[in-house]
Amino acid sequence: MSSKPFVIVVGIDYSIQTERALRAAFAHARKHAPAELHVTHVAPPATGGEEALLASSPLSLNELKDELAVYVGSSLRKLDGAAPAGEVRIVSHVLVDTPVQGLTLLASELEADLLVVGTHGRSGVTRWLLGSVAQGVVNRSPCAVLVIPPERQAPQEPTIAPACPRCARASACR
């Protein structure tokens, strides 16, 4: 009797965050094997629907899917300790929708156990203008969501410039 695989949907946008989200999703898939990892790129719809988007793209939908499969394969080969064959099934999807709607709808259809997305860490006006896919996914997801934050940069030591000649003269006169 086979058990239901642990289903993970991971959203990618080919940014630096994508690799971190994919790495985290694959780690969870290995941990919960047998598992299915559904790597998903959601292309926003152009005015005129899917046909207009594909007509404006130099690649067909099948070529976009092939490109995604190559990207996923090369990204997963970089990971240490790949899962033994057969324990993690990897499927790639290219959807035409808004990212939040596409990811949450796919997670619902697949009865996913986990949805993984990266965040760019935007705030303020940038977040207001561009929105937050991660926030939208958290609000609408039918399952648990793992949000991968941007890699933290080491804090830089403040540099203190030497006194300007005028300040140095004023200090010397005191």
Domain of residue 155 covers 6-172
Per-residue confidence (pLDDT) for residue 173, from 0 to 100: 72
- Where is 109: in which H helix or E strand? helix 99-109
Q: Is 1 contained in some domain?
A: no
pLDDT in tens, 127-161: 444 458 888 999 999 999 999 988 776 666 777 77
Give CA–CA dist 40/34, Å, rounded.
19
Q: Is 72 contained in some domain?
A: yes
Averaged pLDDT, 92-101: 91
* pTM (2 d.p.): 0.73
Nearest 10 degrees: Cα torsion 10, 14, 15, 16: 80
In this structure, what are the phi and psi dihedrals at residue 129, rounded to the nearest 5 degrees? -75, -45
User: What CATH number should be reported for the domain holding residue 142?
Assistant: 3.40.50.620
> What one-character DSSP code corresponds to residue 113?
S
Q: Is 65 contained in some domain?
A: yes
Q: Is 15 contained in some domain?
A: yes
Q: Is 105 contained in some domain?
A: yes
Residue-wise burial string across 66-88, b where 16 or more C-beta atoms lie within 10 A, e elsewhere: eebeebbeebbeeeeeebeeeeb
Q: Which residues pair with 96 in a beta bridge?
A: 43
Quick one: tokens of 132?
């937050």
> What one-character DSSP code corresponds to residue 78?
T
**122 vs 151, higher pLDDT:** 151
How many domains does the chain divide into?
1
Q: Which residues pair with 55 in a beta bridge?
A: none
Per-residue confidence (pLDDT) for residue 126, from 0 to 100: 45
Nearest to residue 133, comparing CAs of 53, 44, 45? 44
Under a CB-based contact definition with an 8 Å cutoff, are residues 67 and 59 in contact? yes
| Beta-strand pair 114-118/88-96 | unpaired
Q: Is 134 contained in some domain?
A: yes
Q: Is 39 contained in some domain?
A: yes
Q: Is 17 contained in some domain?
A: yes
pLDDT in tens, 14-72: 888 888 899 999 999 999 999 999 999 998 776 555 555 555 555 567 777 788 888 88
